[in-house]
Copies of this chain bind each other. A is one copy, B any other.
Amino acid sequence: MRVAVLVLLLSLVARNCDGAATDIELDAKAQYLHRLDSLNLLLYTFLLIATVLTVWTFKHRRLRFLHETGLAVIYGLIVGAIIRYGFTTSNTIQHLPVVPAAPYNQSIPPDILWFQVFENKTGGGFGNKTYAYSFRGEIYKQDSEIDKKATFDPEIFFNIILPPIIFHAGYSLKRKYFFRNLGAILMYALVGTTVSSFIIGALMYAFMQLIPHLSTSFTFLDTLYFGALISPTDPLTIISIFNDLHVDVNLYALVFGESVLNDAVAIVLSGAIQNYGERYLTPGSNKFELVAFFQAMGDFVGIFSLSLFIGATMGCITALLTKFTRVRDFPLLESALFVLMSYSTFLIAEASDLTGVVAVLFCGICQAHYTYNNLSSDSRQRTKQLFELLNFLAENFIFSYIGVSMFTFPKHHFDIGFIISGFFCALLGRAANVYPLSFLLNLGRKPKISLNFQHMLFCAGLRGAMSFALAIRNTVSEARQAMLTTTSLIVILTVIFQGGMASQFLSWFNIPVGVDEEVEVLSHNGVRSYNSMQDGSVGVGTGGKPNEKALLARIWGNFDTRYMKPLLTHSRPTLLETLPVCCTPIARLLTTTQQMTQDDMGHKIDSDSDLCLDEQEFERRRASSQPTHVRGISDRSHV
């Protein structure tokens, strides 16, 4: 626990004392620690600044062999190595073994220790004082000084870093194509991630039995946990390259949709596995209980769907608030309301023992789908830009940290056997997700997922922030430490190499990329034209018709257009037209004058047309002075 948050705790100490000589020493020490913490944070800030400047250079020179997240990792590794081998800080942390003042028979350690020091006249000591000490965790032999260098509490990932990333993913989702491919995405994300977790878990357990020195240290539950944490894929690198190259929109939707949802699946699944272990296994035993297993699966489904429900509900409440008040007259208030409602979603889920990250994901999707339509143009831009920036900073921070922690995190355990098995199983797990499920999907699906698409989905399976965060969350045993090391290595290597080769993969698999400048000019104008043109390219990719929709998407789309949108936004048709006659009084109450009086234009500028992401793309393109749409991969460049 090294960063800002501790800064606060520590500085508290500095201020709570006055006058006495001991307090001055205490003050000096607290100030020293505060400085140390500021320096630590400064290190990461400078790392990010270096990453930003290098990314700019790369983009400027149109180099695409390394993505920004890859750069962040590499810089992190370099700085981590320098810290590890370059500096030796003197041990300034004092430890003192203590024993209870009176016999203590409780089964759990107390929250607070009161360290009483009695009158000590001679040394000018602290007199009759009592100091409070709060619980930090268990001590293991490996805890050494390096612990204090540039590392921080893993829970920061789950409470500070991941929420904006996940919310942004939901908020910037291209919903049109997401909903069109809903069936396939749910299949890959829900079924696929679960299947992949179990296959990796089983395979790893088998491998562990073959390696003599590992056979005893890993239980099946351990390897299953490893399977759950290594299964989610990370969209960042691939998606940013897809964006640059204007890749086929359906492929985009599949890759992005899957990786957004499988993060959510993995976090809940790993939580269920952990709970299963804590509840039903006595230490040392390794007995599998079927009933308990189904209870754990019930946990998984329950927590996932309740979190989803909370997220969606809070999104809809925000939509109602922005629809029925004129808070849009004051964009600052409106943006503040938007941010506060989204943040409270996370807190409500966490306070109810559910998964905040899953809740904000679905909150983000609802905010984009409904609330976004009610916002003033100022707030639309402000919220989009805010979360884009937060996402960028959080992402690059996490990848820098993965690099740095490879050297500075004290609880790594390098085991070559586990690492090699891990790499092998991660690949196999990805294959077990993509190919069989695609085969099943193609049985019922009209625009089939071609084999080249499947290869691309396989190659897009980088591991990223979520895997790392889940791995570093628990490093209590050697088994867990080996998992962290292997996960870090898998993340680093896939992000650097698979990420770097993404555009290569695209050309190998003949994935349709790029949009012709002429087509864009010929079609309508502005933002809409970009969409229409993308619609056209769907046919190229999959052979299906542009507006062909899966059954699931049709049912949902129909319900959404008839009831949800009229209720939550100013869109047409209104509820007066769609609800049965008996409900007219209620429908009238829920329909605004704006909704009644506006012409059909209101429906057209709906966020369903993916305005959210495209407008942003469009603006970015406009802001840049470089030519952006040229034929062929080689001379295509990011804007």
Interface residues of A in 5-25 (CB under 8 A from B): 5, 7-9, 11-13, 15-25
Tell whether A635 is near chain B: CB-to-CB under 8 Å: no
Residue of B nearest to A225 (CB): B18
Can you list 22 contacts pairing A with B, beta carbon distance less than 8 Å?
A: A4-B159, A5-B8, A8-B160, A9-B9, A11-B158, A13-B136, A18-B274, A18-B477, A21-B282, A25-B107, A35-B350, A49-B337, A52-B336, A56-B333, A95-B114, A98-B100, A99-B101, A109-B131, A131-B137, A132-B139, A382-B386, A385-B385
A19 to B136, CA, bound (A): 19
Residue of B nearest to A325 (CB): B56
Tell whether A329 is near chain B: CB-to-CB under 8 Å: yes
From the candidates B18, B29, B155, name the one contacting A108 in the complex (CB within 8 A).
Answer: B29
Interface stretch of the complex, out of A115-123, A298-306, A486-494:
A115-123
Minimum Cβ distance to chain B for residue A590 (Å): 19
A344 near B46 with CB under 8 A, answer yes
Interface stretch of the complex, out of A202-210, A447-455, A557-565, A622-630:
A622-630
A18 near B476 with CB under 8 A, answer yes
Residue of B nearest to A96 (CB): B110
Residues of B within 8 A of A284 (CB): 19
Residues of B within 8 A of A15 (CB): 154-155, 473-474, 476
Tell whether A327 is near chain B: CB-to-CB under 8 Å: yes
Given contacts A24-B279, A139-B130, A154-B12, contact A117 B113 (CB under 8 A): no
A139 near B131 with CB under 8 A, answer yes
Tell whether A351 is near chain B: CB-to-CB under 8 Å: yes
- Known pairs A18-B277, A113-B113; list 16 more (Cβ under 8 Å): A8-B153, A13-B136, A13-B137, A18-B274, A18-B477, A19-B278, A24-B278, A49-B337, A56-B329, A95-B111, A97-B113, A99-B101, A129-B138, A132-B138, A335-B385, A336-B389
Minimum Cβ distance to chain B for residue A156 (Å): 6
A49 to B507, CA, bound (A): 50
Residues of B within 8 A of A41 (CB): 347
Given contacts A12-B155, A109-B131, contact A52 B337 (CB under 8 A): yes
Residues of B within 8 A of A519 (CB): none
Minimum Cβ distance to chain B for residue A382 (Å): 5
B350 near A17 with CB under 8 A, answer no
Residue of B nearest to A21 (CB): B107
Minimum Cβ distance to chain B for residue A125 (Å): 5
Residue of B nearest to A35 (CB): B351
A132 to B110, CA, bound (A): 11
A183 to B13, CA, bound (A): 39
Residues of B within 8 A of A281 (CB): 19
From the candidates B7, B96, B97, B278, name the one contacting A159 in the complex (CB within 8 A).
Answer: B7
A187 to B521, CA, bound (A): 60
Tell whether A55 is near chain B: CB-to-CB under 8 Å: yes
Interface residues of A in 147-171 (CB under 8 A from B): 153-156, 158-160
From the candidates B138, B347, B378, name the one contacting A619 in the complex (CB within 8 A).
Answer: B378
A389 near B339 with CB under 8 A, answer yes
Residues of B within 8 A of A585 (CB): none
Given contacts A5-B5, A12-B137, A335-B389, contact A344 B49 (CB under 8 A): yes
A502 to B344, CA, bound (A): 34
Tell whether A353 is near chain B: CB-to-CB under 8 Å: yes
Residues of B within 8 A of A377 (CB): 623
Chain A interface (Cβ < 8 Å from any Cβ of B): 1, 4-5, 7-9, 11-13, 15-27, 29, 31, 34-35, 38-39, 41-42, 45-46, 48-49, 52-53, 55-56, 59-60, 93-102, 104-117, 120, 123-126, 129-139, 153-156, 158-160, 274, 277-279, 281-284, 321, 325-327, 329-333, 335-337, 339-341, 343-344, 347-348, 350-353, 376-378, 381-382, 385-386, 388-389, 392-393, 396, 473-477, 619-620, 623-626
B16 near A476 with CB under 8 A, answer yes
A138 near B16 with CB under 8 A, answer yes
A385 to B385, CA, bound (A): 9
Minimum Cβ distance to chain B for residue A637 (Å): 11
A48 to B59, CA, bound (A): 41
Q: Indicate the member of A31, A46, A347, A625 with the most B CB atoms within 10 Å.
A: A347
Minimum Cβ distance to chain B for residue A42 (Å): 4
A615 to B158, CA, bound (A): 38
B279 near A8 with CB under 8 A, answer no
Residues of B within 8 A of A382 (CB): 385-386, 389
Given contacts A283-B19, A378-B623, contact A112 B95 (CB under 8 A): yes
Minimum Cβ distance to chain B for residue A365 (Å): 21
A393 near B336 with CB under 8 A, answer yes
A386 to B115, CA, bound (A): 45
B114 near A98 with CB under 8 A, answer yes
Residues of B within 8 A of A46 (CB): 344
A131 to B140, CA, bound (A): 9
A327 near B8 with CB under 8 A, answer no
A111 near B93 with CB under 8 A, answer yes
A329 near B624 with CB under 8 A, answer yes
Minimum Cβ distance to chain B for residue A330 (Å): 6
Residues of B within 8 A of A124 (CB): 107
From the candidates B23, B125, B133, B331, name the one contacting A134 in the complex (CB within 8 A).
Answer: B133
Residue of B nearest to A93 (CB): B111
From the candidates B4, B96, B108, B153, name the one contacting A113 in the complex (CB within 8 A).
Answer: B96
A109 to B336, CA, bound (A): 44
